[in-house]
Amino acid sequence: MQNTDLNKDIQFFANCGPIRVWSLVITILGDLCQKPEDFITGRALGHLVARLGVNNQALRVALHRLRRDGWIRTERDGRSSNYYLSNQGQTMVVSVRNRIYQSNPPKKIPIYLIVAPPSVSATDFANTLPENACNLSTRIALFLGDATLPPNYLQMPLEANPVPDWITEIIAPSALQSEFYILQKAIRTVLSEQVPTTIVDRTILRLIILHHWRRLILRQSLLADILLPDQWPGAMARRQVSVALTRYDRPDLSALNACLDDRT
């Protein structure tokens, strides 16, 4: 029997944006499968995504895509299957784990303004920039830390604090800020409720919060955490997420698998 209180809590996140099933599966495996040998059973995975509104056909399509693209691997277990992150999947998940779970991002990383000469094309300029750079205009960008750049580029520390509104809009667009605000509001509402008593219900709340946070934080520029004030919506959402992930702690995977397998 489904928990009606949990259904109400899940509904609080209805306005937080669409759920892409393949991405939801990565959220689930990335959070629950912390070691290469960890897996989630097919029955357990099916139950978790069903509670979040995903049907079996959509899950099958997502799993096929993730296998094809090298994110996951499958092992048969009798008439069922167990799902693991592949080596590639583990590498990709670990590469962004700090961004997702970090409760206090560093504020002391230096930020530099880079300006290219007029002779450099926009394409060549973009190709020159380090991965963590953010274009401000055709030949002007901000980036974190030091970078090896052509000698005719101007490179200087950024001193502006606070930054002008137009830079804020580039590194944290209004639409993204609105999504962060909606998410932190939904989390705050759920946190005002009693903690679910079952491992399954706590896990489902954890996963829906984590998924929407992961979806947003991986779209956010790294510069936002350093340049924007502590009360911008992204920072507020991070604090709410940190509280929620502590309250709805990561379950013991073997216990979760056993519990959900017994339900089917």
Q: Are strands 111-115 and 140-144 parallel, antiparallel or unpaired?
A: antiparallel
Cβ atoms of 13 and 208 within 8 Å: the answer is: yes
Q: How far apart are CA 210 and CA 207, in angstroms?
A: 5
Q: How far apart are CA 144 and CA 222, in angstroms?
A: 8
Q: For the chain, give percent helix, strand, coil, nearest 5.
A: 55, 10, 35
| Residue 101 buriedness (CB in 10 A; 0-12 / 13-18 / 19+) | middle
* Per-residue model confidence as pLDDT tens digits over 154-181: 988 887 678 899 999 999 999 999 999 9
pLDDT band at 99 (very low <50, low <70, confident <90, very high): very high
Cβ atoms of 198 and 236 within 8 Å: the answer is: no
Sheet containing 134-137, strands listed edge to edge, beginning at the edge strand earlier in sequence? 134-137, 140-144, 111-115, 154-157
Q: How much of the chain, in percent, has pLDDT values that exceed 70?
A: 97
Q: How far apart are CA 44 and CA 259, in angstroms?
A: 8
For the chain, give the mean pLDDT.
91
pTM for the model stands at 0.91
Q: How far apart are CA 131 and CA 210, in angstroms?
A: 25
Q: CB 259: neighbour CB atoms within 10 A?
A: 17
* Per-residue model confidence as pLDDT tens digits over 209-227: 999 999 999 999 989 988 8
Q: Residue 88: its pLDDT value, please?
A: 96
- Return the DSSP state at 197: S
Kindly state the greatest CA–CA separation across the chain: 68
What residue ranges in 173-225 does DSSP mark as E strands?
A: none
Q: How many residues would you count in the chain?
A: 264
Q: How much of the chain, in percent, has pLDDT values that exceed 90?
A: 68
